[in-house]
Amino acid sequence: MLKHTFCHSPRLSVTDEQSLWEEGYSTWKDIVWSEKLPLKYKQNQALLDTCRKSAFHLGNSDASFFYNTLPTKEHWRLFKDFREKTAFFDIETTGLDRNKNHITTIVLYDGLKLRHYVYKENLEDFCKDIEDYKLIVSYNGKSFDAPFIRENLKIPLNQPHIDLRYVLNSLGYRGGLKSCERQLNINRRGLEEVDGFMAILLWERYIKYGDEKALETLLAYNALDVINLEVLMIIAFNQKTAETPFKHLRIPVPTAPKMTLIPDNEIIQKIKGIDSYGRL
């Protein structure tokens, strides 16, 4: 998708880009090799420069160049070109306030390998593992997960970051991650009843009683969220490209990876209905 992108050039809107596509300018090459361009003087100058730079930066696998020049609404375009270097991630915490609460677990998924990190066990390993990726994807992570990680783990976490909340929102899907999954018929396989609040209670149970099954259930929930992020990203990417002339960019939806973390339904049922003071 990036090779077809022109709207990261100064003074060039997505509408201008649309008209370029309609006039037959499909890729950066078509601009660079063209005798004369159909836009206004300053736009043409900038566009020529942008297309040359873009070819260079894509050749260098430099995601930041595109991230910094594209309008935020168009960040989804980075996905296909940087898919091999993309990490999906999600955190669970003891609450929403990052001054009072801390991270309990993190799950990291790159489409092949699923890794998890646990507070006071191996949480810090996340810091070096995430460095291998050039693009990170989350749901509402720009305002929640990423600032929480920066504060808690003291890392910059400054990779280009696609927040699916806003991508899905622009496609008409709103109401939170679980709601988006339902609208798109994405399965939650035995974890339908777990939510962020229960994640706190599962963690408390693990800490209080050393209940390993509670931790595994929490990690299974955390992992499922992250696995579904990839599916959502691909569906969103396909719907976005369907709005352009470049439908051949469609990505097949992957089959779910095998899960070794097994949620414990007995614990889920037990915790369901407990209020924030731990009473039934």
Nearer to DNA, 15 or 255 (CB): 15
Q: Is residue 204 involved in binding DNA (CB under 7 A)?
A: no
From the list 85-93, 119-127, 241-249, 252-260, the region that binds DNA by CB under 7 A is: 85-93
CB nearer to DNA: pick between 201 and 234: 201
Instruction: Using CA atoms of 47, 62, 150, 176 in order, give the dihedral in degrees to the nearest 10.
Output: 70
**CA torsion angle 176 177 183 184 (round to 10):** 150
Decide if residue 199 touches DNA (CB under 7 A). yes
Instruction: Give the C-alpha separation, 4 to 25, whole Å.
Output: 9
CB closer to DNA out of 68 and 169: 169
Q: Should residue 169 be labelled a site residue for DNA when binding is judged by CB under 7 A?
A: yes
Q: Minimum CB separation from DNA for residue 252, in Å? A: 26
Q: What is the DSSP letter of 256?
A: P
Which residue in 86, 85, 114, 117 sits closest to 104, CA to CA?
A: 117
Q: If you search the block for the tokens 């035995």, which residue do you land on?
A: 190
Contact status, residue 137 vs residue 63, Cβ threshold 8 Å: no
Would you say 22 or 248 has its CB closer to DNA? 22
Options 175, 245, 254, 278; binder of DNA; rule CB under 7 A: 175
15 contacts DNA (rule: CB under 7 A)? yes
- 174 belongs to the binding site for DNA (CB under 7 A): yes
Q: Binding to DNA (CB under 7 A): which residues in 230-269?
A: none
User: Is-contact 92 214, C-beta < 8 A?
Assistant: no
d(CA 92, CA 119): 10
Between 110 and 163, CB nearer to DNA: 163
Q: Which stretch binds DNA (CB under 7 A): 27-35, 141-149, 228-236, 255-263?
A: 141-149
CA distance 134 to 154: 19
Q: Which of 173, 159, 189 is nearest to 236 (CA)?
A: 173
Binding site for DNA (CB under 7 A): 10-13, 15-16, 40-43, 72-73, 90-93, 95-99, 104, 139-140, 142-144, 147, 163, 165-166, 169-170, 174-179, 195-197, 199-200, 225
